[in-house]
Structure 1
Amino acid sequence: MKKLLKIMLIALCTILTVLVVFVASVYVVNLISNEREQGKIEAYGQKVLVDGKQMNVLIQGDGKETIVLLPGYGTASPVLDFEPLVKELSPDYRVVVIEPFGYGLSDDTDKVRTSQNIVDEIHECLQKLNIKKYTLMGHSIAGIYGLEYVNQYEKEVKAFVGIDTSVPQQETEELPVSSLQLLNQSGFYRLLLKVNPDQLLMPNVDQQTKDQIKMLTFRNFLNESQASEAENFTNNFKNAERLHFPKRLPVVFYLADQTEEETPNWKPMHEELLKNVDHGKVVTFKGGHYLHHTKSKEIADDVRDFLSNNERSR
C-alpha cells in the first residue's frame, strides 16, 4: 500500500510540475511576443489631439462629400478592418476612419466609456480636422453611439449609414471582463488563436495586413477603454431607448441575413427606428455580422445611389 501511495504521489507531483511549467511557458512566451510586436506595429494615418490624448485617424480620397466611418466594439484596428470598404468608397468620397480611444493606434483612456463621452470625443476630433458636414457610417455598436451623435449634431450630419448596427431594443449580454483580461494576460488568448486562427475575424487583405491586425489585437484586447465600454453596455443601450433618428435625416441600414437568423426581430427593430424618418430603408445582404469584409463593393454601390438620390430630393 505504501509503495502504491508513493507511486501515486510521484505521478501527481509530475503532473503538477508539467502543468506549472506549461502555464509558465505560455505566460513567458506571451510576454516576449508582446514586447517584440511593439516594434513591429506599423504606423498609419495621423494623430489628432482630443481631450488631451492622441486619437488616430485615416483620411483617404478627395471627394467633395465626406463619409466618417466608426467601428464595431473591440475592433483591433478600425483602419485596417475597414480597408476593403475604404478602397471602394474613396474614389468618390473623402473617407475618414476614426479610431476611438483604446482602438487601433489611438491612446487608451481611463475616462468612462459612456455614449456621451465617446460622442464628445468623436465630435472634437472632427472639429479639430475642420470637418463640418459629413455622412456618419458605422458598424455594430456604432449604431448606439451614432443615434446619440445624430441627435446632438443633426445640423452637421447629412445621412446615417448602418452596417448591421446595434439597436437600443436588442438584448445585451454582460462580458466576463475580468476573466477575459486574465485569459489575455496569462497568454492563453494568444495560444487559443494559435490553435484556431479563424476565431479572429479579418477582411480579405494581404498577409502583412493580417499580421498587423493580429498584433494590434493582442495589444488592445480589453484594454482599459474596451473594458469600460463593455461594462457600460447596459446603460448605453438603455439611454439610447429615448432616442429616434431625426425626421429629415436620410438613414439606411445594411443588415446581415445571418444576424437576422440568430437575433429575434432584427429587421423589424431596425424598421421601427425608421418609422418617422422621411427617407429611410433597410437592405439585407447574405453574410455575417462583418458585412464590410465580404460585401464592400455592394455596400459602396448602394451608398452612392442612396446619398445621391437623397441629395437631389432635399
Structure 2
Amino acid sequence: MKRTLFFLLKAVVVMVIAIVVFLAIVFTVNVICNKLEKGKIESYGQLVSVDGKNMNVTIQGHGEETVVLLPGYGTAAPGIDFKPLADELSPFYKVVVIEPFGYGLSDITEKERSTENIVSEIHECLQQLNIDRYILMGHSIAGIYGLDYVNKYKNEVSAFVGIDSSVPAQGAGDELPTAALKSLKQSGFYRLLVKLAPDQIISPDVDDKTKEQNRMISLKNMMNPNIISEAEHFTSNFKAAESLKFPKELPVIFFLVKDTTDVEGWEALHEEQIKDSLHGKMMMLEGDHYLHHTRSKEIVQHFRSFMGEMK
C-alpha cells in the first residue's frame, strides 16, 4: 500500500512539474515571438495626427468622389481586411481606409471607446486629410458608429453603405469575456491556438506575405486596452444609438448576408432603419459576415448602380 501511494504521489508530482514546465514554455515562446514579430511588421498607409496620437490610414484611387471605409469590431488590420473591396472601388473612387485607435498600425489611446470619442476621432482624421465630402461605408459595428456620424456631420456625408452592419435594435448581445481573452493572450495560449488552428485568424484572400502580416498584427492587437474598452462600451453605445435615425434625404444601402441565423429578424431590422428614407435599399448576398472578402465585386457593382440612380 505504501509503495502504491508513493508511486501515485510521484506521478502527481511529475504531472504538476510537466504542466508548470509546459505553461512556462508557452509563455516564454510567446514573449520571444512578440519581440521578434514587432520588428517584422511592415508599415503600410500613412500616419495622421489625431488628438496628439497617430492614426493609420490607407488611401488608393483618384476618383472625384471619396469612399471612407470603417471596420467591424476587433478587425486586426483594416487596411488588409478591406483590400479586396478597396481594390474594386479604387478604379472609380478615392478610397480611404481608417484604422481607429487600437486597430491595425494605429496608436493606443487612453480615451474610453464611447461612440462619441470614436466618431470624433474619425472625423478629426478626415479633417486632417482635408476630406470634407465623402461616402461612409462600414462593416458590422460601424453601423452603430456610422448612425451617430451621419447625424453629426450631415453636410459632409453624401451616402451610407452598410456591409452586414449592426443596428441598435439588435442589442449589444452577450458580454464578451474580455478578462479571460486577455489572459489567453498574455499566457501565450492564444498564439498556441492560432498555431494549431490558423483559420482562427480572419483574413481575406491575399498573398501569403500579406496574410502573415495580418497574423502578426492580429496577435499584437488582440484584446489590447482599446479593444477591451470598446467591448465594455457595447451596451451603452447600442443604447445611445436607439434614438437615432438616418437622415431622410441621405441615400442608404445595406448589403446583408442572405438567410443569416446570427440575429433574429436581421432583414426586418434593417428594413425598419430605412423605412422613412427617400433613397433606401437592401441587397441580400450569399456569404458570411465578411461579405467584403468574397462579394466585393457585387457590392461595388450594386453600389455604383444605386449611386447612379441618385444623379
Using the size of structure 2 for normalisation, the TM-score is: 0.99
C-alpha distance in 2 between matches for 1:13 and 1:243: 61
1:199 maps to 2:203? no
193-202 vs 47-56, which moves further: 193-202
Report runs of 4+ in structure 1 exceeding 3 Å deviation.
none
Q: Which residue does 1:189 correspond to in 2?
A: 190
> Where in structure 2 are the equivalents of 1:273-312 lying within 5 Å?
273-310=273-310, 312=311
C-alpha distance in 1 between matches for 2:306 and 2:51: 35
C-alpha distance in 2 between matches for 1:201 and 1:48: 26
Q: Which residue does 1:217 correspond to in 2?
A: 218
Q: Which residue does 2:111 correspond to in 1?
A: 111
**CA displacement, residues 199-254 of structure 1 (integer Å, 9 cap, x when unaligned):** 22110000000000000001111111110000000000000000000000000000
SS of the aligned residue for 1:67 comes to strand
SS of the aligned residue for 1:124 comes to helix
* Deviation of the 1:257 alpha carbon: 2.1
1:9 maps to 2:9? yes
C-alpha distance in 2 between matches for 1:265 and 1:110: 37
C-alpha distance in 2 between matches for 1:42 and 1:300: 29
C-alpha distance in 2 between matches for 1:76 and 1:94: 23
C-alpha distance in 1 between matches for 2:144 and 2:233: 12
Which amino acid in structure 1 is aligned with residue 284 of structure 2?
T
* Deviation of the 1:110 alpha carbon: 1.5
* Deviation of the 1:307 alpha carbon: 1.4
Q: Which residue does 1:135 correspond to in 2?
A: 135
Which amino acid in structure 2 is aligned with residue 101 of structure 1?
F
C-alpha distance in 2 between matches for 1:233 and 1:174: 8
* Deviation of the 1:72 alpha carbon: 0.3
Which amino acid in structure 2 is aligned with residue 296 of structure 1?
S
C-alpha distance in 2 between matches for 1:200 and 1:284: 26
SS of the aligned residue for 2:248 comes to coil
SS of the aligned residue for 1:262 comes to coil
Q: Which residue does 1:232 correspond to in 2?
A: 233
C-alpha distance in 1 between matches for 2:297 and 2:72: 19
Q: Which residue does 1:30 correspond to in 2?
A: 30
C-alpha distance in 2 between matches for 1:214 and 1:230: 21
Q: Which residue does 1:60 correspond to in 2?
A: 60
Which amino acid in structure 1 is aligned with residue 63 of structure 2?
G
* Deviation of the 1:79 alpha carbon: 0.4
> Where in structure 2 are the equivalents of 1:33-44 lying within 5 Å?
33-44=33-44
297-306 vs 130-139, which moves further: 297-306
SS of the aligned residue for 2:255 comes to strand
* Deviation of the 1:109 alpha carbon: 1.1
* Deviation of the 1:173 alpha carbon: 1.7
Specify every segment of 5 or more residues in structure 2 that has no aligned partner in the other structure, as ranges.
Answer: none
SS of the aligned residue for 1:24 comes to helix
C-alpha distance in 2 between matches for 1:188 and 1:169: 35
Specify every segment of 5 or more residues in structure 1 that has no aligned partner in the other structure, as ranges.
Answer: none
Q: Which residue does 2:158 correspond to in 1?
A: 158
Aligned residues: 310
SS of the aligned residue for 1:261 comes to coil
C-alpha distance in 2 between matches for 1:112 and 1:37: 28
Q: Which residue does 2:99 correspond to in 1?
A: 99
C-alpha distance in 1 between matches for 2:44 and 2:7: 59
* Deviation of the 1:37 alpha carbon: 0.3
